[in-house]
Structure 1
Amino acid sequence: MLKKKSFKGILMLSMLAVLLFAAACGNNANGGNTNNETGNATNSTTNAPTEETVKLSGEVKVDGSSTVFPLTEAAAEEFNKEHPDVRVPVGVSGTGGGFKQFCAGELAIADASRPIKDEEAAVCKEAGIEYTELSVAFDGLSVVVSKENDFVDHLTVEELNKIFMTGSTVKTWKDVRDTWPAENILFFSPGADSGTYDYFNEAILDKAGIRNDTAITFSEDDNALVQGVSGSKYGIGYFGFAYYEENQDKLKVVPVDSGTGAITPTYDTIKDGSYAPLSRPLFIYVSNKELERPEVKEFVKYYINNIGPLAGEVGYVALPDEQYATEAAKIQ
């Protein structure tokens, strides 16, 4: 009897242990599922792409005006600090050279120191290149002579016309003003592909064209013009205000009289337009197709939103804040 009872007791204890073990396994299984679901949710949240984790890369190719070059270069350098994987090479082939590449679909952005010409716009249209024009800053085209020149105090528009117009017979400074020395003038000018050339030709020469003889040196490189004028006591040239600002230790800027008195280019006279007729807006032209690329759109947005403060740093005059807001709206 004792053996039977002991066997039954052992059997019942065994069955109870099995039941307890099964219950424990069931609870662990449910707990495991809960943990896995939580883990999956956590991983899903962690791996989801966010705006902060998206990195831009690629290339934003720019070329064109040597005058606009310092602005675009400054914007590119600052942009690259935030987006180091985006390359923004900036060329200097002149406004006309930039538009040729732009309308051939070779550029994302064309730098321009004048508005696009009708014939250039027609080439772009024929090629299916749609674009957005954005104003970025003001410039005052500056007439300069060597620091050693101690007699030129100002020039009138008529005298500038006489000096630079095609077919001019002016050879010496005395030919310009009787009281000046009979020393041969060396002339320096941006090349025909430059927007600065076009602007000077229009504003000063009424589109008559710039003289082209052995006494004049043309260059698309404004730094070469700076060197030419600064190294020639009797030289004269013209280029963007920023290049004068950068080299005022060796150049003398010439006030220009357009009929209301001689005005020197400064930040204030350029911005308020009193430095006439040589105050001008500067532009970038952006391909609308290229704007669909995120790296291009972000660069252009950065450019417009930040170029105001940068303009003064590189020798140009910022647009009013409300105009930058208008330009930014065009990008959207």
Structure 2
Amino acid sequence: MSVHTLPARGLPLLLLLALALTGCVDAAPETKIHIDGSSTVFPITEAVVEEYARAHPEARITVGVSGTGGGFRKFCRQEIDVADASRPIKESEQRDCAQRGVRYTDIRVGYDGLAVVVHPANTWVQSLTVQELKRLWEPAAQHRVTRWKHLRPEWPDAEIHLFGAGTASGTYDYFTQAIVGTAHASRGDYTASEDDNVLVQGISTDRLALGFFGYAYYEANRAKLKLVPIDDEKPENGAGPVAPSIETVKNNSYAPLSRPLLVYVSRPAGRRPAVQAFVHFYLEQAPRLAREVGYIPMPAEEYRREQAKFAAFVSQSHP
């Protein structure tokens, strides 16, 4: 299990995990909550856990980051109670959960835009089109589109060093679907990681780098990264390149790299009072905390609908 840290806004998550582990001997199993999954959803979940720990010192919550796909594998094996996800659950994952008798509900907690970034010393890239990103990232690009001039002839005759989400990440699935046109299809010759901090470190120290990850990680590291506006070349979304921001994600003009952020809760976990209290707290605090960590909150009515949906889910009579 890897642990991510963003600039401190409260108790470091590592400390929270240590407190959780030291208290595990005495803590009743029903007070423990295990969360794992998306590195993109991690910042908002981390913020919620920090706030919840202050209000509920008896809580024992651990948060892992194994990517959306890794989180769903653990979720369907009933190793965790809550799965953070930056994409909806796939049909194959649904079948896996069904075969193991795991029922669940999804809960939307906010919205995110994927950021495409380069090193600040990159003076030639002012924007990219979706078609250029496709030519750069599609499987056929491997060994063919390897230098900046291959994208635009006026750009430098220098290598492109690519960084992106690991293949177990929901960010990878979403990016490849939105840009390449097929989920889980891309060139393989890039530096991949489910840990977005690794990607930030790589791009921020390499003048020839380009990469993508969740917008919150750009916000937390904007002094050492350069954001690249994207042009989807569709008139209905406005003319010219658009950069991700709260407004452009909310109004869907940052297309096609905007997406919902989700958490999944299993029925056995959802019936436990500790999990119910945490999920309700999560939805109450998400509007404020999403904004704090660089995400886009939903309208208040949407959060009320998610609260009602979760309440109905845990009250259903069948297992």
TM-score above 0.5, yes or no: yes
1:255: Cα distance to partner?
0.4
Partner of 1:232: 206
Shift of 1:289: 1.1
Aligned to 2:186: 210
Give the residue type in structure 1 aligned to 2:58.
D
Please identify runs of 4+ aligned residues in structure 1 that moved more than 3 A. none
Aligned to 2:228: 254
Shift of 1:164: 1.0
The 2-side partners of 1:232 and 1:163 are apart by 18
Residue identity matched to 1:278: L
CA shift, 1:87, in A, is 1.1
Q: CA deviation at 1:167?
A: 2.1
Please tell me whether the aligned partners of residues 30 and 272 of structure 2 are also in contact (alpha carbons under 8 angstroms). Answer: no
* 290 and 57 in structure 1: CA distance in 2 versus 1, 3 angstrom threshold: closer
**Matched residues in 2 for 1:139 and 1:94: separation?**
16
State the match for 1:318 in structure 2. 297
Distance 2:82 2:53 in 1: 16
Cα root mean square deviation, aligned: 1.3
Structure 2: distance between partners of 1:166 and 1:232: 23
Instruction: Please give the alpha-carbon distance, in whole angstroms, between the structure 2 residues aligned to 1:156 and 1:243.
Output: 22
Cα separation, 2, equivalents of 1:160 and 1:104: 36
Which of 239, 255, 280 is the aligned partner of 1:301? 280
**Structure 1, residues 165-216: CA drift from partner, whole Å, max 9, x if none?**
1120111100000110101000001110000000001000001711112xx1
What secondary structure is seen at the aligned counterpart in 2 of 1:286?
strand
Q: Distance in 1 between matches of 2:103 and 2:29?
A: 24
Contact 2:103 2:266 in 1 (8 A): yes
Name the aligned partner's letter for residue 158 of structure 2: E
Q: How far off is 1:56 after superposition?
A: 11
Q: Secondary structure at the match of 1:88?
A: strand
- The AA in structure 1 aligned to 2:133 is L
Q: Distance in 1 between matches of 2:310 and 2:170?
A: 24
Q: Cα–Cα, structure 1 residues 56 and 119, in superposed 2: closer, same or farther, change >3 Å?
A: closer
Structure 2 CA distance for aligned equivalents of residues 253 and 63 of structure 1: 28
Unaligned runs of 5+ in 1: 1-54
Q: 1:254, 1:264 within 8 Å by CA — same for their partners in 2?
A: yes
Q: What's the CA shift for 1:154?
A: 0.3
Deviations 1:92-145 (A, max 9, x none): 000000000000011110000000000101110111110010000100001000
Secondary structure of the equivalent of 1:193? coil
Following superposition of structure 1 onto structure 2, how do residues 263-302 of structure 1 map, counting pairs within 5 Å? 263-302=242-281
The residue type equivalent to 1:88 in the other structure is: I
Partners of 1:230 and 1:136 in 2: how far apart? Answer: 29
**Which residues in structure 2 correspond to 1:114-129 (within 5 Å)?**
114-129=87-102
Structure 1 partner of 2:76: 103
The aligned residue for residue 166 of structure 1 is: 139
Q: Percent identity?
A: 49
Of 161, 167, 183, the residue aligned with 2:158 is 183
SS in 2 for 1:238: strand
Partner of 2:46: 73
Specify every segment of 5 or more residues in structure 2 that has no aligned partner in the other structure, as ranges: 1-27, 235-239, 312-319
Larger Rg, first or second structure (1 or 2): 1
| Residue 39 (structure 1) aligns with | none
Q: Any residues of structure 2 matched to 1:129-168 within 5 Å, and which?
A: 129-168=102-141
Q: TM-score normalized by structure 2?
A: 0.85
Task: Figure out how many residues of one structure are paired with residues of the other and give that number.
Answer: 276
Distance 2:285 2:264 in 1: 17
